């Protein structure tokens, strides 16, 4: 008599005959793949134990083939009297990392993952799972449907669905609370946080944590089930205590913190249903899951997931990065000290150069403060902080100390003459093969490279402020930059845990070039009738962390003022010029640091600056503009259309490789709302034809600024999308 769940599983295995070949690959799994693909399920029979190996590299995503293979395996093993216990484990680097995200948005293919989980849980024979690497989302749900779970050290589990705009849709919202209680399940499911094996054990998500090879552990654990040492039970038969306080708390927190997001609130509703009998709860979960699947936020968040990974696909991917251990940083101001901190946190050795010892000391102090923050956030121990500061950081005023550096990153003033001089000196001092990088925001990297006898070693590494926090790194490739130098920039990005995006040379590269258009458009709206506060509110309600005028006040209005004065002589006479910011600066109101700018910064926080509003009204009168009323939709439509228009020309000019690279830049460097997927994803959601219509309409008032990009016109004609172009590139 084969083992049954929750019963004595001991059995006599002495007369067992193997019914299948030792390794048997399932036909159903094969049927869904090309001739040459390896099978996704490998079955082995060892005495009374059936081992079900999952083999869908790289992450064992629960694709249709894997799902069908699992069901087929359960059906076959249920009918095989010789098999008494079944162990599922992941071959390769992980257990199942979740549903196959690439299938989302396409017509569903049977069997669904909930059906697979239900089939596993309903098995009469005990089924256990051995988890290593990652058991995420649907992967964890498969595990929860098995009758016992053994984790291997180093395992990560979690429900990342909420970060993709959905909720665990294969029983996770019903089975997790049955094991952990509602409070913990709510925490995991609404945040998407990932936890380790030990914490999973504490919460009851796994039954045991061991060390070893997954297949060996699967075999040993199956024997433990047979001997009764490892108990089994169906998660679905457990009951949940209705924790109304935890539900209320979670709902209120989300309403406050994430009012714009859709799926976190649905997660709470789904977990609330876990008090019902399993079948009813699952039906409720399914209903809510499908609502999330239909939401545009799901498509946006999944675009963000793929954007983060797509940007690594660059023409130079085959080149071997140069070795980087010792880094030189020039300039210990806002950026230099942040870049140095990021390098130190990643185990690199840093020499920081400044103009004089006082400035160098200031740089060191900023780095110390940054490291203090890392200690506070638990990213570093105080011992590690002390070790970094005494053994990995040195400061200097002499560039000769860069003679042995593998990479030098310049972050001095944004002034071409200063940068040229720095690169001339680096060319004389640095060793052969050293990478010479500039952190310039706007300047021409070709011109900087031309200052050296080795332009192939020069690249732009454009970090974002604060550089030890912000995820984005633009790798700016100049005309002569060598492929292995580009690859080194990307390898550095990976080491610093940043998202590196390849950009070409132009004024502002990808991000700042589009930002200039964004800021101009906001000023045009202000001149035409919207107040700074109305514009900022529209954009924060759209999902940006801050609106453009609040950001301008934060950055300091004086910096942009100085740059406007510098560029005044070269400004096109046809270009619309808004003098409001100049007049605000003339009063000395440089923004937050001066206590006043577009806003007044009092003890109760910012409020609109009435005197700035008076200046705005005065300038409108002078220009003969009768202020118009703009709704929030009007404001976001104008601004998004301008951003997309500029982004399309950035693509046409070859500055970004693909539309999805622009999405990544805006998502990870400019606070673009992740749930909107990025500007190009937003363009596809609006539609090229509508965008062209809008631009033509706006051009009636300002044909110098508003011009239909050729690519957008083509897309409006042939119905194609930026997503199509990302796939083709
Ligand atoms: N579906 C499809 N492809 C996936 C995938 C998934 N769930 N997870 C990863 N991939 C792909 C990546 O796109 C990447 O493809 P590429 O090489 O073509 O760019 C490749 O697998 C390797 O991924 P990473 O580069 O991210 O590899 P890492 O080793 O750095 O990370 C990981 C591995 C931790 C598993 C990470 O990939 C990850 O977090 N994946 C997403 C996990 C997730 O969100 N799961 C939930 C899915 S939703 C769900 O399960 C719904 C269910 O409730 C019904
Ligand atoms: P900053 O003014 O805070 O710092 C510049 C530092 O460089 C100063 O401490 C100065 O003493 C030092 N310096 C000047 N000339 C030097 C020289 N010849 N040798 C050594 N040190 C020298 O400026 P910030 O904001 O750090 O900007 C630096 C660079 O980074 C600029 O090119 C800027 O455009 C760029 N950048 C700035 C960002 C920001 O948000 N602040 C974002 C991304 C890039």
Contact 484, 319 (CB under 8 A): yes
Q: Determine the pLDDT at residue 105.
A: 85
Superfamily for the 25-294 domain: 2-enoyl-CoA Hydratase; Chain A, domain 1 (3.90.226.10)
Residue 602, C-beta contacts closer than 8 angstroms, at least 6 positions apart: none
Residue 470: per-residue pLDDT: 96
Please name the residue whose Cα sits nearest to atom 29 of ligand 2.
411
Can you tell me the mean pLDDT for 317-345?
A: 97
Residue 502 has pLDDT above 60, yes or no: yes
Residues in contact with ligand 2 (CB, 6 Å cut-off) = 330-336, 353-355, 359, 411-414, 418, 422, 439-441, 463-465
CB 143 within 8 A of CB 204: no
Nearest CA to ligand 2 atom 31: 414
Q: What are phi and psi of 696, to 5 degrees?
A: -60, -35
Q: Can you give the pLDDT at residue 5?
A: 64
* Cis peptide, bond prior to residue 111, ω within 30 of zero: yes
Query: For 596, phi and psi rounded to 5 degrees?
Result: -165, 140
Q: How far apart are CA 585 and CA 565, in angstroms?
A: 12
Using CA atoms, how far apart are residues 629 and 637, in angstroms rounded to an integer?
14
Closest residue by Cα to atom 4, ligand 2, is: 333
Q: What's the CATH number for 326-509?
A: 3.40.50.720
Element (H, E) at 474: strand 472-477
The DSSP output letter for 9 is: -
Mark residue 169 as left, alpha or beta (left: phi above 0; alpha: psi -120 to 50; beta: remaining). alpha
Q: What is the pLDDT of residues 508-520, one digit of tens each?
A: 999 999 999 999 9
pLDDT score of 436 more than 60? yes
CA–centroid distance, 440 to ligand 2, in Å, is 9
3-state secondary structure of 461: strand
Concerning whether 280 is annotated as a catalytic residue, the answer is: no
Residue whose C-alpha is closest to residue 247's, from 231, 223, 271:
271
Structure tokens of 435? 């990478």
Domain map (residue ranges) of the chain: 25-294, 326-509, 512-728
264 by Cβ neighbours in 10 Å (0-12 / 13-18 / 19+) ranks as buried
The residue whose two tokens read 């216990």 is 85
Label residue 4 by pLDDT band (50, 70, 90): low
User: Coil, strand or helix: which one is 619?
Assistant: helix
192 Cβ inside 6 Å of ligand 1: no
Gap between the Cα atoms of 364 and 340, Å rounded: 9
Instruction: Identify the active-site residue in 84, 141, 316, 534.
Output: 141
Spatial CA neighbour of 399 closest among 450, 352, 340:
352
Q: Is 658's pLDDT higher than 90? A: yes
Asked if the model's pLDDT at residue 576 lies above 60, the reply is yes
Are both 25-294 and 512-728 of the same fold? no
Dump pLDDT digits (tens) for 11-66: 322 222 223 333 444 444 433 434 456 789 999 999 999 999 999 999 999 999 99
Query: Which ligand number lies closest to the CA of residue 469?
Result: 2
- Average pLDDT value for residue range 129-135: 98
Q: Among 97, 306, 493, which residue has the most ligand 1 atoms within 8 Å of its CB, making it the best to mutate?
A: 97
The predicted structure's pLDDT at residue 2: 37
Average confidence (pLDDT) over 580-606 = 96
Which single residue is written with the structure tokens 């990478």?
Answer: 435
Measured in Å, residue 473 CA sits from the centre of ligand 1 at 22
Looking at residue 13, its pLDDT comes to 29
Position 565 confidence tier, pLDDT thresholds 50, 70, 90: confident
Task: Give, in degrees to the nearest 5, the angle at Cα 441 between 318 and 455.
Answer: 50
pLDDT, position 134 = 98
Q: Confirm whether 141 is a catalytic residue.
A: yes
Domain 512-728 has CATH 1.10.1040.50: yes
pTM of the model: 0.92
CB 462 within 8 A of CB 440: yes
What is the pLDDT, as a whole number, of residue 729?
82
* Extended beta strands in 18-147, E state: 23-25, 41-46, 49-54, 85-90, 127-131, 134-136
C-alpha span between 494 and 346 (Å, rounded): 10
């Amino acid at each position: 008599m084969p083992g049954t769940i929750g019963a004595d599983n001991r059995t006599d295995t002495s007369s067992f005959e193997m019914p299948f070949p030792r390794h048997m690959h399932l036909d159903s799994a094969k049927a869904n793949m090309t001739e040459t693909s390896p099978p996704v399920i490998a079955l082995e029979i060892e005495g009374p134990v059936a081992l079900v190996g999952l083999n869908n590299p790289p992450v064992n995503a629960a694709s249709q083939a894997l799902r069908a293979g699992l069901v087929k395996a359960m059906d076959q093993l249920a009918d095989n009297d010789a098999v008494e216990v079944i162990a599922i484990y992941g071959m390769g680097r992980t257990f199942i990392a979740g549903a196959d995200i690439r299938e989302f948005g396409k017509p569903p293919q049977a069997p669904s993952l909930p059906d697979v989980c239900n089939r596993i849980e309903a098995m009469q024979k005990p089924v256990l799972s051995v988890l290593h690497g990652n058991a995420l989302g649907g992967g964890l749900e498969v595990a929860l449907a098995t009758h016992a779970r053994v984790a291997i050290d180093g395992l990560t589990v979690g429900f990342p669905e909420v970060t993709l705009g959905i909720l665990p849709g294969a029983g996770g919202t019903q089975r997790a609370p049955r094991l952990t209680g509602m409070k913990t399940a709510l925490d995991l499911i609404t945040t998407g946080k990932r936890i380790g094996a030990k914490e999973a054990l504490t919460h009851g998500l796994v039954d045991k944590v061991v060390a070893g090879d997954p297949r060996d552990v699967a075999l040993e654990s199956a024997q433990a089930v047979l001997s009764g040492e490892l108990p089994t039970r169906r998660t679905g038969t457990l009951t949940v205590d209705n924790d109304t306080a935890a539900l209320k708390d979670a709902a209120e927190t989300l309403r406050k913190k994430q009012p714009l997001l859709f799926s976190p609130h649905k997660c709470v509703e789904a977990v609330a249903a876990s008090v019902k009998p399993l079948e009813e709860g699952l039906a409720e979960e399914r209903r809510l899951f499908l609502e999330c699947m239909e939401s545009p936020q799901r498509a946006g968040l999944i675009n963000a997931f793929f954007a983060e990974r797509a940007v690594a696909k660059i023409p130079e991917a085959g080149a071997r990065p140069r070795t980087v251990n010792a880094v030189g940083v020039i300039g210990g101001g806002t950026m230099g000290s942040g870049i140095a901190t990021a390098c130190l946190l990643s185990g690199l050795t840093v020499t920081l150069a400044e103009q004089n010892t006082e400035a160098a000391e200031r740089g060191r102090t900023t780095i110390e403060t940054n490291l203090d923050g890392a200690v506070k956030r638990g990213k570093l121990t105080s011992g590690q902080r002390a070790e970094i500061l005494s053994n990995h950081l040195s400061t200097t005023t002499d560039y000769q100390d860069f003679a042995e550096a593998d990479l030098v990153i310049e972050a001095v003033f944004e002034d071409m003459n200063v940068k040229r001089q720095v690169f001339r000196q680096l060319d004389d001092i640095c060793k052969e093969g050293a990478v010479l990088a500039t952190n310039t925001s706007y300047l021409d990297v070709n011109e900087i490279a031309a200052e050296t006898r080795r332009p192939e070693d020069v690249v732009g590494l454009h970090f974002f402020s604060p550089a030890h926090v912000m995820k984005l790194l633009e790798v700016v490739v100049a005309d002569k930059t060598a492929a292995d130098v580009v690859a080194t920039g990307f390898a550095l990005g990976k080491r610093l845990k940043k998202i590196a995006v390849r950009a070409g040379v132009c004024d502002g590269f990808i991000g700042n070039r589009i930002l200039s258009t964004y800021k101009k458009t906001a000023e045009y709206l202000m001149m035409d009738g919207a107040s700074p506060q109305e514009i900022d509110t529209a954009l924060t309600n759209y999902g940006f962390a801050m609106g453009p005028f609040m950001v301008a006040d934060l950055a300091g209005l004086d910096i942009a003022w100085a740059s406007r004065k510098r560029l005044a002589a070269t400004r096109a006479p046809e270009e619309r010029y808004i003098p409001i910011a100049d007049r605000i600066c003339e009063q000395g109101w440089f923004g937050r640091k001066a206590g006043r700018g577009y806003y007044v910064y009092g003890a109760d926080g910012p409020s609109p600056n009435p005197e700035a509003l008076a200046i705005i009204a005065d300038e409108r009168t002078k220009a003969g503009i009768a202020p118009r009323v703009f709704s929030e939709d009007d404001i976001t439509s104008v601004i998004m259309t301008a951003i997309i228009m500029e982004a399309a020309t950035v693509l046409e000019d070859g500055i970004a490789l693909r539309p999805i690279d622009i999405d990544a830049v805006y998502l990870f460097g400019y606070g673009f709302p992740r749930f909107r997927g990025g500007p190009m994803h937003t363009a596809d959601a609006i539609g090229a034809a509508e965008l062209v219509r809008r631009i033509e309409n706006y051009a009636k008032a300002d044909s110098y600024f508003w011009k239909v990009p050729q690519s957008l016109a083509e897309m409006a004609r042939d119905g194609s999308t930026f997503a199509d172009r990302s796939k083709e590139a």
